[in-house]
Structures are given as structure tokens and as C-alpha cells.
């Protein structure tokens, strides 16, 4: 019996290894195609069989991007950085108010925040657009910063972490004469570093890739972000495949680098979102 | 000892207002306004009037809206099913200690963090019906190659595949987290009692995963409702929605009516319908969780 069990086991292991390698191939291949096409001359892009390493490597596709994409890249970087910082501010202060301050209506407001996590942006975009336009913010970066400033998920995430810090710490600080602001900045924030890292990474990834809000709020060429600039390729009549892949390649590099160096925070963020289930 | 004293309100205000202002102005107010606008023929200009339920009646007798609802339903069913099955399968495969475990977990999760615009552009090249590398391979095997995004028969299926490719790793990570919460001793006890692997999966793993399973289904449904980028990029941009409208889901129809045709009143009625569906899914989750989820195992 043991020998047949062993046989079945090694067959299972072999099948599992094959399946995993195949899956990894299916996931990596499209990204390889993107990266290698970015360095190919037009005539080589549709060669069959497709070459992974370009026969005549070229930077021509990247130089075709030079007129507009440096600005798009800068806009994306600037906006993402500002929104990440503003979100961190609103999420940590909100989380502190929900976890360590006592006030009437606190639990009700928190429940409303949590419910709003489920609401798709497209369900409220029409009235939100009208509000933004009436504030005179249409076609400005401020529209994206202000509509992006509030994060129900981030507030929830950090509040859950603050709850794990014993109230006795806060009380001890109060007895020592510390005010709420110094408790928040000197005690809570330093303790919350890991969850703050998770929040920063999540919100960076979201706004760096965000396409919908810029599509709605930005029309001026000079204000466009990277995803919006890339989308122009998809709707032009002639398809510039090379430059298109070069732009895509550039756009995924920052997030790839962050992912590879801080994978554990991504995984923790996903897991933390599941805990409440 | 609990601090029973209420915090002075200026202090509370200083902490809560930064997020509460954004919440009130850009989430709560729009929800209320969506209802109001849906009862008017507002199109952005100063002249508009109350039209009662006309927008809703129009929507529910309009083939485009009903078609969009059906497309959303098909898209949601397939992506939710495929993402959960693949997510669970790979979580189970990668829960054991094996060579390269972290590499495979990382690779499978990776597409989640990438721009869906960039991913969509790459797939447009790969799936090009005439010259794309995938169809070249398929044809070289002597099989008739599909048109992928180019045909109304396969465009929605193609969007589903690309979406699943990009996000099933997210559910794998959720399930991996869930598997950590199931005590090893349960499996050991079951093995001593002579329970086979199928029995162990059905009696321990699945019930132990039920809380995370329920959460995953809800998240997957809500996310499926929101699919937009892939459809905009891969099936024709602003005027798009795929060959013969085959990929026009509800959120795309809202976008098109609102921002290409400026029928704000009508698009608001569609938005309210979407809100109602989301609310229903959330309520079912809240209710069902108590009924079906098993917390005894863990």
C-alpha cells in the first residue's frame, strides 16, 4: 500500500509542478510581450515565431513618446504623491477619532464609512461631477486631489490597527499631561508604521493606475496622467503598437519595483481586508 | 479604567473633519443628488424640469439598458466563479511547502498591482485576430483562430478572460490568509480517524474557509460591477461597448449616457439602479453570513 501511495504522491507533485510552471508562463508571457515589443522596430513586432529578445533592439519607440509622455509621467507622479499624503492624513486622523476619542454619533458615522466602501465610484460619478464643476474645479488637478482625499478603506484599515493599541497607553499619556495631538503624533503614528506602509502602498498603486477619475475630470492635454495618455493610443485610428508598449512598459515599472521590494505589505493589506469578512 | 469623559468637540472636529468633509461632499451628497437628478431631465444646462419616474420607465423599456444589465449579469457570474475557483485551487496548491512557493505566489498576485490600461493594451496586441502572436500559434496548429475582441460572439468572453487573468491572484491571497486560520490539529485528528483527503477538504477546509469565502464572493461581485477600464480600452473607447454593444456593461452605459450624450437625468436613474443592486448584494451578505457561515470549525 505504501508504494502505491508514494506513486500517487509523486504523480501529484509532478502534475502540480507542471501546472504551476504553466500558470506562471501564462501570467509572465503578456508582460514579456509588452517589454520586448517596446524595444522592437515596427517590422519585427508581428514576426512569427515572436522573438523574446528583439533582433534589432531600438529605443525609437521611447523617443516617439518624448513630446508628451514626460509631462504625463510627471503629472501622474505629482498627483499620486499628493493624494497619497492627503489620504494618509485624513485616514490616520479619522482612525484616531474613531478609535481613541469619545463623541456622540461615533459608531454611526463609522458604520456609514464602512458601508460606503462597497459603493462603486460609477454609481455616484454623475452628481460628483456636477459638484466638482460647480466648485469651479473641472479640468484641474485639484478635482482629482479633492475627490481622492477621502478613503473609507484606509480609515477602516488604520482604525482596526489603532484598536489593537491598548487604551491604557493613551490614558498614561493623558495622565502625564499629553494632549490628543501629541498622543496622535508621538505615540500612535510611530506605533502604526507597518499599517501606514500598507496604506501608502495601496493608495499609491490605486492612484498611479487610476483611469476612471482622470477620464471624467481631465481634458486638457497638459494635465493628463499616464493612464489617460495611454488610453489615447487605444482610440486613435492608426495603432502605434511600438510606442504604445513602450508607454505601458514605463507605466508598470514603478509599481513593479514597489511590489517586488514590499510584497509583504501588499499581501498584508489584502489579508487585512479579508479579516473583517 | 475606561475614560468616560467625552472629548471636547473642537478636538474631535480637528480629527474627524479632514475625512468627514470629503465623505460628506463627494460621497454622501452625490448619493442624495443621484436620486434627485434621476427625477429630472437635467442635461448640464440651466433649464431642466421634474419628470417623475420617466427616466426609470424609459430605462426599463430600453433594450440598451436591459442589454447592459444582462451583460453585467453574465460578466459578473463568470468572473466571480472563475476567480473564486482558481483562487481557491491555487491557494490550496501553494499552501503546502514546496520549491519556489513564494515565487509562484508572487507571480500569480503580480497582475493585480499593474495598470489595467497597460494590461489591456498588451492583450490587444497579443489577441490581434490577424497578426497577433496567439492566433499565429493557434493557426500553426491548424485550428481556426477566434476573432477575440473583434466579434460580438467572443468579445465579452475575452474581456472576462483578461479580467480573470489580472485578478484571480487577489482571491488566492485572501484564501491563503483564510487557510492560516484553520488549526493544524484538526487535520491531524482527522487523519488519525482515517479521513481521506477529500473528506478532510469537505469537512474541515471548506467550512473553515466559509467566512473568507463569503467575503470574497461579495468583493468579487462588487468589483465585477465596476469593470470599466478593460471595456473602454479594448472595445472602442468613448463610443465603444464592443461589436454590437456586446461588452456594454451597466457602468459603461452610465458613462456613455452621462459623459458622451450628457443625459444626466437618465444616467442618474441608471446609477440609482446600480446603487440598489449593490445595496441588495451587501444586505444578502449581512444576512447570509449569519445563516451559512460556519465559525465553529476555526
pLDDT tens-place string over residues B176-191: 989 988 888 888 899 8
How is chain A classified by DSSP, letter by letter?
-HHHHHHHHHHHHHHHHHHHHHHHHHHHHHHHHHHHHHTS-GGGTT-SSPPSS-SS---HHHHTTTTTHHHHHHHHHHHHHHHHHHHHHHHHHHHHHHHT---TTHHHHHHHHHHHTTS-GGGTHHHHHHHHHHTT-TTSHHHHHHHHS--HHHHHHHHHHHHTS-HHHHHHHHHTT--HHHIIIIIIHHHTHHHHHHHHHHHHHHHHH--HHHHHH---GGG--HHHHHHHHHHSSS--HHHHHHHHHHHHHHHHHHHHHSHHHHHHHHHHHHHT-
Topology classification of domain B61-116+147-292 = MetI-like fold (1.10.3720)
Residue B138 pLDDT greater than 70, yes or no: yes
Encode A22-40: b = buried (16+ Cβ within 10 Å), e = exposed: ebbeebebbbebbbbbbbb
How is A216-270 classified by DSSP, letter by letter?
HH---GGG--HHHHHHHHHHSSS--HHHHHHHHHHHHHHHHHHHHHSHHHHHHHH
Interface residue B178 vs chain A (CB under 8 A): yes
Predicted pLDDT at A1: 45
Contacts of A251 in chain B (CB under 8 A): 115, 117-118
Give the sign of the dihedral formed by CA B127, CA B133, CA B134, CA B135: positive
Class of residue A18 by CB neighbours under 10 A (exposed 0-12, middle 13-18, buried 19+):
exposed
Instruction: Tell me what the mean pLDDT of segment B138-158 comes to.
Output: 92
Q: How far is B226 from chain A (nearest CA, A)?
A: 6
The torsion region of residue B182 among left (phi > 0), alpha (psi -120 to 50) and beta comes to: beta
Q: How many CA atoms lie within 13 A of B206 on its CB side?
A: 10
Nearest by CB to B229, which of A13, A118, A211? A211
Q: How far is B189 from chain A (nearest CA, A)?
A: 20
Kindly indicate whether the ipTM for this predicted assembly is greater than 0.90, answering yes or no: yes
Q: How far is B139 from chain A (nearest CA, A)?
A: 11
Q: Do A89 and B274 touch (CB under 8 A)?
A: no
pLDDT in tens, B93-111: 999 888 899 999 999 999 9
Predicted pLDDT at A76: 98
Q: How far is B66 from chain A (nearest CA, A)?
A: 17
Interface residue B93 vs chain A (CB under 8 A): yes
Residue B45 pLDDT greater than 90, yes or no: no
Average pLDDT for chain B: 91
How far is residue B15's CA from residue B30's CA, in Å, rounded to a whole number?
23
Nearest by CB to B122, which of A33, A180, A275? A33
Q: Do A30 and B119 touch (CB under 8 A)?
A: yes
Q: Do A234 and B140 touch (CB under 8 A)?
A: no
pLDDT in tens, B236-245: 777 777 888 8
Interface residue A145 vs chain B (CB under 8 A): no
Predicted pLDDT at B241: 78
Contacts of A103 in chain B (CB under 8 A): 6-7, 9, 12, 16
Residue B40's beta-bridge partner residues?
A: B50
Interface residue A5 vs chain B (CB under 8 A): no
Contacts of A16 in chain B (CB under 8 A): 93, 98
Q: CA-nearest residue of chain A to B226?
A: A120
Predicted pLDDT at A4: 61
How far is residue A210's CA from residue A31's CA, in Å, rounded to a whole number?
19
Interface residue B288 vs chain A (CB under 8 A): no
Encode B148-180: b = buried (16+ Cβ within 10 Å), e = exposed: bbbbeebbbbbbbbbbbbbbbbbbbbbbbbbbe
Contacts of A31 in chain B (CB under 8 A): 114, 122
- CB B149, CB B176: distance < 8 Å: no
Per-residue tens of pLDDT for chain A, all 277 residues = 455 667 778 898 899 999 999 999 999 999 999 999 999 998 898 888 888 899 999 999 999 999 999 999 999 999 999 999 999 999 999 999 999 999 999 999 999 999 899 899 999 999 999 999 999 999 999 999 999 999 999 999 999 999 999 999 999 999 999 999 999 999 999 999 999 999 999 999 999 999 999 999 999 999 999 999 999 887 776 778 999 999 999 999 999 999 988 888 888 778 776 654 3
Contacts of A98 in chain B (CB under 8 A): 16
CB contact set of B190 (below 8 Å; sequence gap of 6+): B199, B200, B203, B204
**What are the distances in angstroms from CA B73 to CA B76, B115, B167?**
5, 25, 18
- Residue B296 — very low, low, confident or very high, per pLDDT cuts 50/70/90? low
Q: Do A123 and B278 touch (CB under 8 A)?
A: yes
Q: Where are the domains of chain B?
A: 61-116+147-292
Interface residue B25 vs chain A (CB under 8 A): yes
CB contact set of B89 (below 8 Å; sequence gap of 6+): none
Q: Where are the domains of chain A?
A: 2-58, 61-275
Predicted pLDDT at A126: 96
Chain B, window 135-164: residues with a beta carbon less than 8 angstroms from a chain A beta carbon: 136, 140
How is chain B classified by DSSP, letter by letter?
----SPPPHHHHHHHHHHHHHHHIIIIIHHHHHHHHHHTB---SSS---B-TTHHHHHHHT-HHHHHHHHHHHHHHHHHHHHHHHHHHHHHHHTTS--TTHHHHHHHHHGGGGS-HHHHHHHHHHHT-TTT-HHHHHHHHTTPPPP-GGGSTTTHHHHHHHHHHHHHHHHHHHHHHHHHHTS-HHHHHHHHHTT--HHHHIIIIIHHHHHHHHHHHHHHHHHHHHT--HHHHHHTTGGG-SSGGGTT--HHHHHHIIIIIS--HHHHHHHHHHHHHHHHHHHHHHHHHHHHH---S--
Residue B1 pLDDT greater than 50, yes or no: no
Chain A, window 51-80: residues with a beta carbon less than 8 angstroms from a chain B beta carbon: none
Residue B80 pLDDT greater than 80, yes or no: yes
Mutation target to probe the A interface, by most A beta carbons within 10 A, among B12, B14, B18, B19 is: B19
Predicted pLDDT at B183: 85
- Residue B298 — very low, low, confident or very high, per pLDDT cuts 50/70/90? very low
Interface residue A167 vs chain B (CB under 8 A): yes
Q: Do B174 and A271 touch (CB under 8 A)?
A: yes
Q: What angle do CA A181, A185, A186 make, to 5 degrees?
A: 110
- Residue B263 — very low, low, confident or very high, per pLDDT cuts 50/70/90? very high
Contacts of B115 in chain A (CB under 8 A): 208-209, 211, 226-227, 230, 248, 251-252, 255
Q: Do A101 and B140 touch (CB under 8 A)?
A: no
Q: How far is A196 from chain B (nearest CA, A)?
A: 16
Predicted pLDDT at A5: 64
Nearest by CB to A116, which of B15, B27, B131? B27
Q: CA-nearest residue of chain A to B30?
A: A127
How far is residue B101's CA from residue B96's CA, in Å, rounded to a whole number?
8
Domain A61-275 is classified in which CATH homologous superfamily?
MetI-like (1.10.3720.10)
Nearest by CB to A120, which of B120, B218, B226? B226
% of chain B surpassing 90 pLDDT:
69
- Residue B39 — very low, low, confident or very high, per pLDDT cuts 50/70/90? very high
Interface residue A269 vs chain B (CB under 8 A): no
Predicted pLDDT at A223: 97
Interface residue B184 vs chain A (CB under 8 A): no
Q: Do A23 and B90 touch (CB under 8 A)?
A: yes
Q: Do B93 and A16 touch (CB under 8 A)?
A: yes
How far is residue A47's CA from residue B137's CA, in Å, rounded to a whole number?
12
Amino acid at each position: 500500500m505504501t508504494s502505491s501511495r508514494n506513486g500517487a504522491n509523486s504523480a501529484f507533485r509532478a502534475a502540480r509542478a507542471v501546472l504551476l510552471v504553466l500558470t506562471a508562463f501564462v501570467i509572465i508571457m503578456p508582460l514579456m510581450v509588452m517589454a520586448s515589443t517596446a524595444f522592437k522596430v515596427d517590422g519585427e513586432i508581428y514576426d512569427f515565431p515572436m522573438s523574446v529578445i528583439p533582433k534589432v533592439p531600438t529605443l525609437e519607440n521611447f523617443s516617439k513618446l518624448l513630446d508628451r509622455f514626460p509631462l504625463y509621467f510627471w503629472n501622474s507622479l505629482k498627483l499620486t504623491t499628493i493624494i497619497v499624503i492627503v489620504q494618509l492624513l485624513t485616514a490616520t486622523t479619522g482612525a484616531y477619532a474613531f478609535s481613541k476619542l469619545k463623541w456622540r454619533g461615533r459608531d454611526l458615522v463609522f458604520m456609514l464609512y464602512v458601508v460606503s466602501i462597497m459603493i462603486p465610484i460609477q454609481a455616484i460619478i454623475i452628481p460628483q461631477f456636477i459638484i466638482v464643476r460647480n466648485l469651479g474645479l473641472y479640468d484641474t488637478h485639484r478635482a482629482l486631489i479633492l475627490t481622492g482625499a477621502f478613503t473609507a478603506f484606509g480609515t477602516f484599515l488604520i482604525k482596526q490597527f489603532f484598536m489593537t493599541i491598548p487604551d491604557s497607553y493613551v490614558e498614561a499619556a493623558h495622565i502625564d499631561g499629553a494632549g490628543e495631538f501629541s498622543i496622535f503624533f508621538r505615540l500612535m503614528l510611530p506605533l502604526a508604521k507597518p499599517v501606514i506602509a500598507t496604506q501608502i502602498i495601496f493608495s499609491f498603486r490605486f492612484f498611479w493606475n487610476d483611469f476612471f477619475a482622470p477620464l471624467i475630470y481631465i481634458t486638457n492635454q497638459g494635465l493628463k496622467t499616464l493612464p489617460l495618455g495611454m488610453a489615447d493610443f487605444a482610440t486613435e485610428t492608426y495603432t502605434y503598437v511600438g510606442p504604445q508598449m513602450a508607454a505601458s512598459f514605463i507605466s508598470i515599472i514603478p509599481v513593479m519595483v514597489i511590489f517586488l521590494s514590499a510584497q509583504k505589505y501588499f499581501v498584508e493589506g489584502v489579508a487585512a481586508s479579508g479579516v473583517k469578512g | 479604567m475606561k475614560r468616560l469623559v467625552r472629548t471636547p468637540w473642537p478636538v474631535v472636529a480637528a480629527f474627524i473633519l479632514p475625512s468627514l468633509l470629503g465623505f460628506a461632499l463627494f460621497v454622501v451628497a452625490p448619493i442624495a443628488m443621484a436620486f434627485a437628478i434621476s427625477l429630472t431631465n437635467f442635461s448640464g444646462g440651466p433649464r431642466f424640469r421634474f419628470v417623475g419616474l420617466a427616466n426609470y420607465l424609459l430605462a426599463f423599456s430600453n433594450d440598451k439598458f436591459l442589454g447592459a444589465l444582462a451583460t453585467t449579469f453574465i460578466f459578473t457570474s463568470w468572473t466571480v466563479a472563475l476567480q473564486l475557483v482558481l483562487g481557491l485551487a491555487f491557494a490550496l496548491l501553494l499552501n503546502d511547502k514546496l520549491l519556489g512557493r513564494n515565487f509562484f505566489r508572487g507571480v500569480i498576485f503580480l497582475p493585480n498591482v499593474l495598470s489595467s490600461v497597460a494590461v489591456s493594451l498588451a492583450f490587444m496586441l497579443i489577441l490581434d485576430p490577424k497578426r497577433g502572436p496567439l492566433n499565429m500559434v493557434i493557426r500553426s496548429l491548424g485550428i481556426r483562430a477566434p476573432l477575440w475582441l473583434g466579434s460580438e460572439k467572443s468579445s465579452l468572453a475575452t474581456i472576462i478572460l483578461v479580467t480573470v487573468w489580472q485578478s484571480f491572484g487577489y482571491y488566492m491571497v485572501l484564501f491563503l490568509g483564510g487557510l492560516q486560520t484553520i488549526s493544524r490539529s484538526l487535520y491531524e485528528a482527522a487523519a488519525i480517524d482515517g479521513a481521506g483527503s477529500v473528506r478532510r477538504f469537505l469537512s474541515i477546509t471548506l467550512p473553515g474557509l466559509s467566512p473568507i469565502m463569503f467575503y470574497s464572493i461579495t468583493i468579487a461581485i462588487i468589483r465585477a460591477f465596476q469593470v470599466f477600464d478593460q471595456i473602454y480600452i479594448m472595445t472602442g473607447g468613448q463610443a465603444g461597448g464592443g461589436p454590437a454593444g456586446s461588452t456594454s456593461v451597466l457602468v459603461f452605459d452610465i458613462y456613455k449616457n452621462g459623459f458622451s450624450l450628457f443625459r444626466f437625468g437618465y444616467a442618474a436613474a441608471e446609477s440609482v439602479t446600480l446603487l440598489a443592486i449593490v445595496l441588495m448584494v451587501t444586505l444578502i451578505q449581512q444576512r447570509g453570513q449569519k445563516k451559512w457561515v460556519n465559525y465553529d470549525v476555526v
